[in-house]
């Protein structure tokens, strides 16, 4: 079949898409926890900084952010390679939306749990690490799973800054062959397959957390 001849190029693009997506999720998760914890436990200044970051990146278009970092930021002497720009912008997007997930989950921990921690003479850091986070993580995972899938889909926007991801290669092949049906059908299948794999990974992580595998000391304390 003629469609099979598209697979090598599309597969190379899919690898780039997967790498950008996984990198953005990993870095964005760090930003999400940092900003989310700052919103809840960081005091007035850190909470305000985290709030400004969250609202800025949630309140503006991801596409415009991508173009600003790639085309406007170099005008003041700061520039990144296209792949680094894509990962950075997607990471900031994940961090902004993920911080609200973290904040909401931390605030959902019952007051009685915090009172028990104070009765045990736990400090704020001990309460956060041993009481709040282990319980909040369970609540966060379904939302983080959805955010991970959304990040994969949004990663197609990096094709607009000349990154040869799956969408970029699909468009290039389509321009050469004019075979819209074949090229884009395979592209849809590619994104769907990657979504399934990502969903399975997130569910595995969620299952491990629910079993207490991620916090063995807290589970036995």
- Summarised one tens digit per residue, pLDDT across range 119-148 is 776 767 777 777 777 788 888 889 999 999
Determine the distance from the C-alpha atom of residue 72 to the mean position of all C-alpha atoms in its chain, rounded to a whole number.
24
Spatial distance between the Cα atoms of 2 and 180, rounded to a whole number of angstroms: 13
Cβ count near 147 (within 10 Å) = 22
Among 62, 215, 194, which residue's Cα sits nearest to residue 136? Answer: 215
pLDDT over 70 (residue 66): yes
Domains, the chain, with CATH or none = 2-220 (1.10.3720.10)
pLDDT over 80 (residue 116): no
State mean pLDDT over 212-217.
52
Spatial distance between the Cα atoms of 189 and 199, rounded to a whole number of angstroms: 15
pLDDT over 50 (residue 219): no
Spatial distance between the Cα atoms of 82 and 55, rounded to a whole number of angstroms: 25
- Summarised one tens digit per residue, pLDDT across range 168-207 is 999 999 999 888 888 999 999 999 999 999 999 999 988 8
Among 41, 12, 174, 35, which residue's Cα sits nearest to residue 99? Answer: 35
pLDDT over 50 (residue 151): yes
Percent with pLDDT over 70 in the chain: 92
């Amino acid at each position: 079949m003629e469609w099979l001849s598209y697979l090598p190029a599309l597969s190379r693009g899919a690898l780039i898409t997967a790498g950008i997506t996984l990198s953005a999720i990993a870095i964005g998760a760090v930003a999400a926890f940092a900003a989310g914890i700052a919103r809840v436990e960081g005091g007035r200044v850190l909470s305000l900084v985290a709030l400004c970051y969250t609202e800025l990146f949630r309140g503006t278009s991801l596409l415009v952010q991508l173009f600003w970092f790639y085309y406007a930021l170099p005008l003041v002497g700061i520039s990144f390679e296209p792949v680094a720009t894509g990962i950075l912008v997607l990471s900031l997007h994940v961090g902004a939306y993920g911080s609200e997930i973290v904040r909401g989950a931390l605030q959902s921990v019952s007051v009685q749990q915090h009172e028990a921690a104070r009765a045990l003479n736990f400090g704020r850091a001990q309460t956060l690490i041993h009481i709040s986070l282990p319980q909040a993580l369970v609540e966060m995972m379904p939302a983080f799973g959805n955010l991970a899938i959304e990040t994969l889909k949004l990663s197609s926007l990096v094709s607009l800054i000349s990154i040869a991801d799956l969408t970029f290669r699909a468009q290039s092949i389509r321009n050469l062959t004019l075979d819209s049906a074949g090229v884009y059908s395979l592209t849809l299948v590619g994104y769907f397959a990657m979504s399934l794999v990502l969903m399975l990974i997130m569910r595995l992580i969620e299952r491990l957390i629910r079993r207490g595998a991620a916090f063995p000391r807290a589970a036995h304390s």
